[in-house]
């Protein structure tokens, strides 16, 4: 298989019988998920997305990507949370790390830049500066169509496009990904005549990377979305068995639950390659928004190694013992560097002529053992290649695992009621119509 799951380094923390004792609970969770009898079942259409997706829309996505590639040097992807993290993770993973720094002549595909994922004005100004007078298009992505951050950014870029290309020209360069029926963005897109793509009803933001939400930006950046879906379809097939001995994704969910019950309440997703940093960001939303509710849940964080071994690595090794790690590792490096031979003695003579990838992998092995010795349980998810197929399978692995994991912990893994609290306060303080009472009470507290 493309993906392997190694739990051998849990031996000091979890007894063999503990996993099999989880089987009845996992069987129940599997039923809740697959029979649609669990809470939140109306948001589980991602389960069969890799095989049951809208093929006509998929073809339109490819055509739109081609169009953007032919008329734009930059695609600005506007969205927040589930409406950008997956695309960003995939694009970083599938491209050279510095791809976005190359000049237009050195790049085969448009530069993809992200906006609307913060409210920082200087970020937006500098993004506009980096586009300069180059041709660009915009993909505005919002399932609800009402989220403030992307709505503000979209106003800015809509205006810029209209100034540059006129109303008609701008229309040709705006692609709206939103709900099929509802929301302000849907209404606006209908009125203005933008090309529209759909976030399916039964797919929540954090599970939407394999819909147009992720696929259009990924395809525009040159990603092979057929292979991405094929990998996810392999995941759908591989991780469907309720039998724990046969399903690595379910094993991952069960082990997380076992560890959580033992007091390991923080999980670090570890990588050894900067192209996986954004995958960690995507994963944090998937885990945190799915599981952090009702006063429960594992806190998801990430570790970018070996970088962070020189910062909070100290904490992991010797701090409070409530952490476990899941490493994501790619077997075959995308490229390699041979450590140069040198006459002068810099203490590295023993490594000259070796590949950097060998040193990186060895660093990961040494770190796992050190952390295990320090009392940090470790699991390893390893994919063979850094390509679309493996990414698709890994995405599905983590998605199905969090569904099972959430049900094991007795929560609804598919809602996110908690994200509304800050929005209400922001609306109250900004004086949005309908929030008048809140405005007064909040202002009094500031
Ligand atoms: O997963 C979620 O539901 C959220 O993180 C949303 O993706 C995020 O709030 C953006 O929402 P929307 O796509 O409606 O603009």
172 pLDDT higher than 70:
yes
Once rounded to an integer, what is the mean pLDDT over residues 24-45? 98
pLDDT, tens only, 318-361: 999 999 999 999 999 999 999 999 999 999 999 999 999 999 99
Position 181 confidence tier, pLDDT thresholds 50, 70, 90: very high
Instruction: Give residue 6's pLDDT.
Output: 98
Once rounded to an integer, what is the mean pLDDT over residues 168-173? 98
Position 164 confidence tier, pLDDT thresholds 50, 70, 90: very high
Instruction: Give residue 51's pLDDT.
Output: 96
User: Quick one: which atom of ligand 1 is closest to the CA of 141?
Assistant: 13
User: Quick one: which atom of ligand 1 is closest to the CA of 183?
Assistant: 14
User: Quick one: which atom of ligand 1 is closest to the CA of 206?
Assistant: 1
CB 282, CB 249: distance < 8 Å: no
Q: How far is the CA of 82 from the centre of ligand 1 (A)?
A: 5
CB 218, CB 228: distance < 8 Å: yes
Nearest-CA residue for ligand 1 atom 8 is 81
pLDDT, tens only, 66-93: 999 999 999 999 999 999 999 999 999 9
Calculate the average pLDDT of the chain: 97
Instruction: Give residue 114's pLDDT.
Output: 98
Catalytic residues: 289, 423
Instruction: Give residue 1's pLDDT.
Output: 66
CA distances to 202, 250, 268 from 398, rounded to whole Å, are: 18, 10, 14
SS3 string, 157-211, reads HHHHHHHHHHHHHHHCCEEEEECCCCCHHHHHHHHHCCEEEECCCCCCHHHCCCC
d(CA 385, CA 375): 30
Cβ-proximal residues to 304 (8 Å cutoff; 6+ apart), any chain: 271, 274, 276, 277, 280
Q: How far is the CA of 141 from the centre of ligand 1 (A)?
A: 9
Pocket test for ligand 1, best of 77, 82, 284, 414 (most atoms within 8 A of CB): 82
pLDDT, tens only, 221-260: 999 999 999 999 999 999 999 999 999 999 999 999 999 9
Instruction: Give residue 328's pLDDT.
Output: 98
210 pLDDT higher than 90:
yes
Nearest-CA residue for ligand 1 atom 9 is 81
Q: How far is the CA of 186 from the centre of ligand 1 (A)?
A: 15
Once rounded to an integer, what is the mean pLDDT over residues 23-35? 98
Instruction: Give residue 437's pLDDT.
Output: 87
**Binding-site residues, ligand 1, Cβ < 6 A:** 80-83, 142-144, 147, 150, 204-206, 289, 416, 419
Instruction: Give residue 420's pLDDT.
Output: 86
Residue tagged 């205006």 (tokens): 159
Q: How far is the CA of 419 from the centre of ligand 1 (A)?
A: 9
Once rounded to an integer, what is the mean pLDDT over residues 15-31? 97
Q: Give the orientation angle of helix 23-34 with respect to helix 248-261, to 10 degrees.
A: 120
SS3 string, the chain, reads CCEEEECHHHCCCCCHHHHHHCHHHHHHHHHHHHCCCCCCHHHCHHHHCCCCCCHHHHHHHHHHHHHHHHHCCEEEEECCHHHCHHHHHHHHHHCCCCHHHCCHHHCCCCEEEEECCCCCHHHHHHHHHHHCCCCEEEEEEECCCCCHHHHHHHHHHHHHHHHHHHHHHHHCCEEEEECCCCCHHHHHHHHHCCEEEECCCCCCHHHCCCCHHHHHHHHHCCCCHHHHHHHHHHHHHHCCCCCHHHCHHHHHHHHHHHHHHCCCCEEEEEECCHHHHHHHHHHHHHHHHHHCECCECCEEEEEECCHHHHCCHHHHHHCCCCEEEEEEEECCCCCCCECCCCCCCCCCHHHCCCEHHHHHHHHHHHHHHHHHHCCCCEEEEEECCCCHHHHHHHHHHHHHHHHHHHHHCCCCCCCCHHHHHHHHHHHHHHCCCCCHHHHHHHHHHC
pLDDT, tens only, 191-203: 999 999 999 999 9
For 276, the token pair is 């996986």
pLDDT, tens only, 132-157: 999 999 999 999 999 999 999 999 99
Q: What is the pTM of this model?
A: 0.97
Nearest-CA residue for ligand 1 atom 1 is 205
% of residues, the chain, pLDDT over 70: 100
pLDDT, tens only, 270-321: 999 999 999 999 999 999 999 999 999 999 999 999 999 999 999 999 999 9
């Amino acid at each position: 298989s493309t993906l392997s799951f190694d739990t051998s380094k849990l031996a000091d923390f979890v007894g063999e019988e503990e996993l099999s004792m989880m089987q009845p609970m996992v069987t129940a969770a599997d039923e809740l998920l697959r029979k649609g009898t669990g809470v939140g079942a109306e948001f589980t259409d991602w389960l069969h997305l890799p095989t049951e997706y809208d093929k006509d829309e998929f073809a339109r996505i490819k055509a739109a990507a081609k169009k953007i590639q032919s008329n734009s040097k930059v695609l600005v992807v506007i969205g927040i949370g589930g409406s950008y993290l997956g695309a960003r993770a995939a694009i970083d993973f599938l491209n050279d790390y510095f791809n976005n720094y190359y000049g237009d002549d050195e790049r085969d595909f448009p530069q993809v830049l992200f906006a609307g994922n913060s409210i920082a004005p200087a970020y937006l100004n500098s993004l506009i500066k980096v586009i300069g007078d180059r041709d660009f298009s915009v993909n505005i992505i919002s399932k609800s169509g009402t989220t403030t951050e992307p709505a503000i950014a979209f106003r800015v870029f809509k205006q810029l496009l209209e100034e540059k290309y006129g109303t008609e020209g701008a229309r040709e360069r705006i692609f709206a990904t939103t709900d099929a029926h509802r929301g302000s963005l849907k209404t606006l897109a209908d009125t203005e005549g933008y090309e529209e793509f759909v976030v399916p009803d039964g797919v929540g933001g954090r599970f939407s990377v394999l819909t147009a939400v992720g696929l259009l930006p990924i395809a525009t950046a040159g990603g092979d979305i057929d292979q991405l879906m094929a990998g996810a379809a392999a995941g759908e097939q591989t991780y469907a068995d309720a039998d724990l001995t046969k399903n690595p994704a379910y094993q991952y969910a069960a082990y997380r639950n076992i560890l959580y019950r033992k007091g390991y309440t923080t999980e670090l997703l570890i990588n050894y390659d900067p192209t996986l940093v954004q995958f960690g960001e995507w994963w944090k939303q998937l885990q945190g928004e799915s599981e952090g509710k009702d006063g429960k849940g594992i806190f998801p964080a990430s570790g970018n190694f070996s970088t962070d071994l020189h910062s909070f690595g100290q904490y992991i090794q010797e701090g409070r013992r409530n952490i476990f790690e899941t490493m994501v590792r790619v077997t075959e490096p995308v490229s390699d560097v041979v450590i140069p031979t040198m006459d002068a003695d810099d203490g590295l003579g023993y490594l000259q002529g070796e590949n950097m990838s060998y040193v990186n992998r060895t660093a990961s092995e040494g770190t796992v053992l050190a952390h295990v010795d320090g009392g940090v349980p470790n699991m390893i998810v390893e994919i063979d290649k850094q390509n679309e197929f493996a990414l698709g399978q890994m995405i599905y692995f983590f998605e199905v695992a969090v569904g099972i994991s959430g049900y094991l912990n007795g929560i609804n893994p598919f809602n996110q009621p908690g994200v509304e609290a800050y929005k209400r306060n922001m609306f109250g303080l900004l004086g949005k119509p309908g929030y008048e009472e809140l405005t007064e009470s909040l202002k009094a507290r500031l």
